[in-house]
Amino acid sequence: MKIKRSGSSFNSLNSKRKLESVFLFTTGKCNAKCAMCFYANDMEQKAPDLTFEEIKKLSESAGRFNRLWLSGGEPTMREDMPEIVEMFYKNNHIKDINFPSNGIKNDLLIGWLKRIRRNCPDCNVSISISLDGFGSTHDTQRGIPSFYQAVRALKLIDDNFRDDGKVIKNIATVITKYNVEEILDFTAWVYGRFNVSTHTIEAARGVTREDGVKVLTEESLRKIQDAVAPYYMLYANRIGEGMSGLSRLITKYFYVGLMRAMYNIRASNLDKPTPWNMDCTAGETTLVLDYDGRFRACELRPPIGTVQEYNYDVQAIMQSEAMKKEIEAIGHGYKANCWCTHGCWIMSSITFNPGKMLSLIHKSYRETKKLCKPVGIDESILRELEEKYKLDTQKLAEIGIIPQVFKAGAA
Q: Which CA distances in Å does 346 have to 38, 67, 204?
A: 18, 15, 16
Nearer to ligand SF4, 73 or 135 (CB): 73
Residues 35-94 interacting with ligand SF4 (rule: CB under 6 A): 37, 39, 72-74
- Residue 122 has phi, psi (to 5 degrees) of -90, 0
Count, residues near ligand SF4 per rule CB under 6 A: 22
Q: Residue 26 or residue 59: which is nearer to ligand SF4 going by CB? A: 26
Name the segment binding ligand SF4 (CB under 6 A); options: 15-23, 31-39, 78-86, 231-239.
31-39
CB of 370 to ligand SF4, least distance (A): 28
Kindly state whether residue 112 participates in binding ligand SF4, applying the rule CB under 6 A.
no
Q: What secondary structure, in 3-state letters, does the chain show?
A: CCECCCCCHHHCCCCCCCCCEEEEEEECCCCCCCCCCCCHHHHHCCCCCCCHHHHHHHHHHHCCCCEEEEEECCHHHCCCHHHHHHHHHHHHCCCEEEEEECCCCHHHHHHHHHHHHHHCCCCEEEEEEECCCCCHHHHHHHCCCCHHHHHHHHHHHHHHHCCECCEEEEEEEEECCCCHHHHHHHHHHHHHHCCCCEEEEEECCCCCCCCCCCCCCHHHHHHHHHHHHHHHHHHHHHHHCCCCHHHHHHHHHHHHHHHHHHHHHHHHCCCCCCCCCCCCCECCCEEEECCCCEEECCCCCCCCEECHHHCCCHHHHHCCHHHHHHHHHHCCHHHCCCCCCCHHHHHHHHHCCHHHHHHHHHHHHHHHHHHCCCCCCCHHHHHHHHHHCCCCHHHHHHHCCCCCCCCCCCC
262 touches 269 (CB < 8 A) = no
Euclidean distance between CA atoms 81 and 126, whole angstroms: 15
Contacts with ligand SF4, 340-359, as mask; x by CB under 6 A? x-x--x--------------
Residue span binding ligand SF4 (CB under 6 A) among the ranges 147-155, 158-166, 237-245, 293-301: 293-301
Tell me how far apart the alpha carbons of residues 19 and 299 are, in angstroms, rounded to a whole number: 16
Identity of the residue, 107 or 387, whose beta carbon is nearer to ligand SF4 in the bound complex: 107
Out of 19, 22, 24, 30, which residue is the one contacting ligand SF4 (CB under 6 A)?
30
**Does residue 280 touch ligand SF4 according to CB under 6 A?**
yes
Q: How far is the CB of 410 from ligand SF4 (least distance, A)?
A: 39
Closest approach of ligand SF4 to the CB of residue 390, in Å: 23
Q: Provide CB contacts within 8 A for 291, sequence distance 6+.
A: 25, 26, 27, 28, 42, 47, 49, 50, 72, 73
Binding mask 222-261 for ligand SF4 (x = CB under 6 A): ----------------------------------------
Question: Segment near ligand SF4 (CB under 6 A), from 7-15, 247-255, 296-304, 382-390?
Answer: 296-304
CB of 401 to ligand SF4, least distance (A): 22
Q: Work out whether 298 is an interface residue with ligand SF4 (CB under 6 A).
A: yes
Q: Is 194 in the site for ligand SF4 (CB under 6 A)?
A: no
Using CB under 6 A as the binding rule, whether residue 102 contacts ligand SF4 is answered as yes
In this chain, which stretch among 27-35, 182-190, 259-267, 366-374 interacts with ligand SF4, using CB under 6 A? 27-35
Cβ 298 vs Cβ 286: under 8 Å: yes
Binding of ligand SF4 by 338 (CB under 6 A): yes
Of 32 and 180, nearer to ligand SF4 (C-beta) is 32
- When computed from its CA atoms, the radius of gyration of the chain, rounded to whole angstroms, is 21
Taking CB under 6 A as the criterion, the residue among 19, 22, 32, 307 binding ligand SF4 is: 32
Scanning 12-20, 152-160, 221-229, 336-344 for contacts with ligand SF4 by CB under 6 A, the matching segment is: 336-344
Q: How far apart are CA 349 and CA 359, in angstroms?
A: 14
Chain positions 313 to 332 lying near ligand SF4, rule: CB under 6 A, are 330
Told to check if 204 binds ligand SF4 by CB under 6 A, we report no
Instruction: Please report whether residue 263 would count as binding ligand SF4 according to CB under 6 A.
Output: no
CB of 341 to ligand SF4, least distance (A): 8
Pick the piece of the chain touching ligand SF4 (CB under 6 A) from 30-38, 45-53, 82-90, 368-376.
30-38
Range in contact with ligand SF4 (rule: CB under 6 A) among 32-40, 90-98, 131-139, 355-363: 32-40
Note the residues at the interface with ligand SF4 (CB under 6 A).
30, 32-34, 37, 39, 72-74, 102, 280, 282, 297-298, 300-301, 330, 338-340, 342, 345
